Structure 1
Amino acid sequence: MTGQVGVNPVVLQRADPSVLRHGGQYYFTGSYPAYDRIVLRRAERLEDLQAAEEVTIWSAHAEGPQSHLIWAPEIHRVGGAWYVYYAAAPNDHGTVDVPGTAETFNHRVYVLENTADDPFEGEWVERGQVDTGWESFALDATSAVIDGTQYLIWAQQAFDVRGHSNIYIAPMADPWTLAGPAVELTRPEFDWEVQGFWVNEGPSVLVQGGRVFLTYSGAATGIDYAMGVLTADLGSDLLDPASWTKSPTPVFVSDPAVGQYGPGHNSFTELPDGTPVLVYHARSYTHIEGDPLWDPNRHARAQVLPFDEHGDPVWGTPVPDTRPVPTSTTVLSPAGRPPSA
């Protein structure tokens, strides 16, 4: 099976997976299904992440703007320190911010910092909310240092654009402060991006072969959820939307032939030899009981991302499951048991 890495899923019941390879270890975080904490685990091999000990490095506040729906943490290493970007909300319901627009949640983007060499030691310090330039639904922040400049790339609702979220980029003065205004790179516009919800979210960056690939996800989070991509030349002005070319069609979609549905919200890591690896979540079924938000079975998955002779990614299709997966709505701990209260 082309592009398989170890045994999939690599981590059960952890959506929005973020994997960083550093110092010979894979560091993993993702959305905890109760949305009440940020967790971290590590292993020398991707296939060992499921069995790795999982540690809670931060818990939601009892009240206030970081008390509900902790979504999509991402771990990054910048300037010798560790950073986790995440979204949090003051409540578990939404508001209608724009007339004629469906309800959105009330998330904003926040940052944690740990200056210890080992992120399982030291102290995770709250650096607070990232001021993205305006107050609206904001989430799914990622970061990339390209040609010596750190960028923040995230999803946010704009009051003058139909839909729930667009993708923005801005340079950073430090890992929690923007150094310039947000620039819109993509908004929902193609049919595949507006199935169920008008969404561009979950950006991730891969620099490969002299180009910058910016992936993102669109549509509602069921079978229609899929990944798109924008491409820019390395060395171009990444803050100029004209530097980017957007694919009109999704590049990674559901595949009923292998029982994988709604692949998306990806990140990138690499094998020890530098080979790129695509990390994403997907479900193994389509029928969801109740609110899809609380269905925990979006599993973290990984597969090699090959490139063709022209330097273009060969996205392929999700590989089938080889690890038994749960079908209940019980949230599992790392060892496969319900977490203790």
Structure 2
Amino acid sequence: MRLRSLLAAGVVALLGMTTSAAGTFTNPIKRNGPDPWLQYHNGAYYLATTTWNSTITMRRSPTLAGLDAAADTVVFNLAGRANGCCNMWAPEFHLLDGPNGRRWYLYYVAGQNVADYNPTQRLHVLESAGTDPMGPYSFKADLGTDWQLDASVLTVGGRLYLMGTYGGDGAGQSNFIQRLTNPWTLTGSRVRLSSPTYAWERQTAPVNEGPEPLYHDGKVMVVYSASACWGPDYKLGLLTLTGSDPMNPAHWTKRATPVFQRSDANSVYAPGHNGFFKSPDGTEDWLVYHANSSASGGCDMNRSTRAQKFTWNADGSPNFGTPVRLGTTLPAPSGE
């Protein structure tokens, strides 16, 4: 019996050399994972990130630590779509009620296969056949006919709104909002949600982008990315719906200071393009984002996906803390 115990302990020790300890994880959770979107659903984490090619891929794992080694599964191929075949960025999948029942709607950015691809980037949406985040998916709609990025969906009073990023009106790259009659159909005009007005939103370039919904204790908020993604000072800002109408710019209040930014002490630069997810037991709130490990890092596929738990301030606003150094052992989300 003594020998058997020693052998078992040796196996555990050997496994511990190659996997995270039970109940912990370390960042990054995906090494080449810009623009991450992560959700926990029916016992597993699902992660999608920018591929910069003609595929949309997703990873699945029962633990956060397991995402790093999980396989990328192609959930949709864009090849053959004339106005959105290539350069896939910023995928997000939202479980929404629509005319076809409860489905996942996967929003993404893609453009044409041309030398100067950036002006051709547009918003698009897929619909799942059922309630599996990995699909299968079918193409549902193009969302707009001009340059737009970073689609997300806001829900207020049972109504859906598409948020996105647009830069064609001389105010710098800005966030906009527009009504949806269903998850794939826009109605009315888009309205400006935020523009880069503060100095910390204009470092290297004037940018507001990547608006993401956040809800807490009846408060509706939007967290967005600010300044140039190709500089070290890319960071997160906060909007709060202080009125009742999300389509009225006067009903939104922008916080005057950023809520998440670089940490030179922890070698984390350009933390941004975030999302939110709940722990498996629903008791914790988590932030997922990408960042670089060098001040000279760029806006490319070398950005890595990272996650950390956050808390709430007394006024109901999020307290994201400081971005954690890569390799730091962190407790896994509660309920794993």
Task: Output the TM-score relative to the length of structure 1.
Answer: 0.82
Q: Please give the secondary structure, in 2, of the residue aligned with 1:105.
A: helix
Tell me which residue corresponds to 1:319: 324
Q: In the alignment, what sits opposite 1:26? A: 45
Partner residue, 1:83:
105
Q: Deviation of residue 191 (structure 1)? A: 1.3
The answer on 1:219 being equivalent to 2:227 is yes
> Is residue 2:143 matched to residue 1:130?
yes
Q: Partners of 1:281 and 1:313 in 2: how far apart?
A: 18
Q: Find the counterpart in structure 2 of residue 303 from structure 1.
A: 308
**1:23-79 superposed Cα distances (whole Å, 9 cap, x missing partner):** 2322211112x4332111222222221122320112232562212221111111112
State the partner residue of 2:53.
Answer: 35
The corresponding residue for 1:332 is: none
Tell me the distance in 1 between the aligned counterparts of 2:116 and 2:236: 25
One-letter code of the match for 2:245? D
> Is 1:139 paired with 2:139?
no
Q: Is 1:136–1:157's contact at 8 Å kept on the other side of the alignment?
A: no
User: 2:155, 2:42 → 1: CA distance?
Assistant: 18
Contact 1:69-1:92 within 8 A present in 2 as well: no
CA distance in 2, matches of 1:56, 1:146: 32
Identity level (%):
35
Superposed, which structure 2 residues align to 1:185-264 within 5 Å? 185-221=193-229, 222-233=231-242, 236-264=244-272
Q: CA deviation at 1:296?
A: 2.2
Question: 1:283 — aligned with what?
Answer: 292
Give the conservation status (yes or no) of the 8 Å contact 2:46–2:133.
no
Q: Distance in 1 between matches of 2:160 and 2:61?
A: 27
The residue matched to 2:36 in structure 1 has which SS?
A: strand
**Count of residues in Structure 1 that have an aligned counterpart in Structure 2:** 301
Whole-Å separation in 1 of the counterparts to 2:192 and 2:269: 29
Deviation track 1:81-118 (CA, whole Å, cap 9, x = no partner) reads: 111100111145549xxxxxxxx632110001112232
What residue ranges of structure 1 are gaps of 5+ in the alignment?
A: 96-103, 325-341
Instruction: Give how far 1:219 is off.
Output: 1.4
Q: Assess if the C-alpha contact under 8 Å between 1:206 and 1:213 holds in 2.
A: yes
Q: Which residue among 106, 114, 124 is the counterpart of 2:120? A: 106
Structure 1 residue 268: deviation in Å? Answer: 0.7
- Secondary structure of 2:189's counterpart equals coil
Aligned letter for 1:313?
A: P
* Counterparts in 2 of 1:89 and 1:11: CA distance versus 1, 3 Å: same
Task: State how far apart, in whole Å, the 1-side matches of 2:318 and 2:263 are.
Answer: 18
Task: Return structure 1 stretches of 4+ with deviation > 4 angstroms.
Answer: 92-95
Which amino acid is 1:70 matched to? M
Deviation for aligned residue 1:140: 0.2
Q: What code does the residue aligned with 2:70 have?
A: A
RMSD: 2.2
The answer on whether the counterparts of 1:9 and 1:323 sit within 8 Å (CA) in structure 2 is no
Helix, strand or coil at the partner of 1:256: coil
Q: What CA deviation, in whole Å up to 9, does each residue of 1:239-285 have, x standing for no partner? A: 11122110122211111100100000001111123321111100111
Of 5, 11, 14 in structure 1, the residue corresponding to residue 30 of structure 2 is: 11
Runs of at least 5 residues in structure 2 that lack an aligned partner in the other structure = 1-22, 330-336
Deviations 1:274-327 (A, max 9, x none): 321111100111234xxx34x422111111110123322212110111179xxx
Larger radius of gyration: 2
Distance 2:35 2:291 in 1: 9
Contact between 2:93 and 2:133, CA under 8 Å: does it hold in 1?
no
Give me the whole-angstrom Cα distance separating, in 2, the residues matched to 1:49 and 1:146. Answer: 32
Contact 1:92–1:105 (Cα < 8 Å) also in 2? no
Instruction: Tell me which amino acid in the other structure corresponds to 2:156.
Output: I
Q: Distance in 2 between matches of 1:93 and 1:253?
A: 33
Residues 224 and 81 from structure 1, CA distance in 2 versus in 1: closer, same or farther, beyond 3 angstroms? same
Task: Name the counterpart of 1:69.
Answer: 87
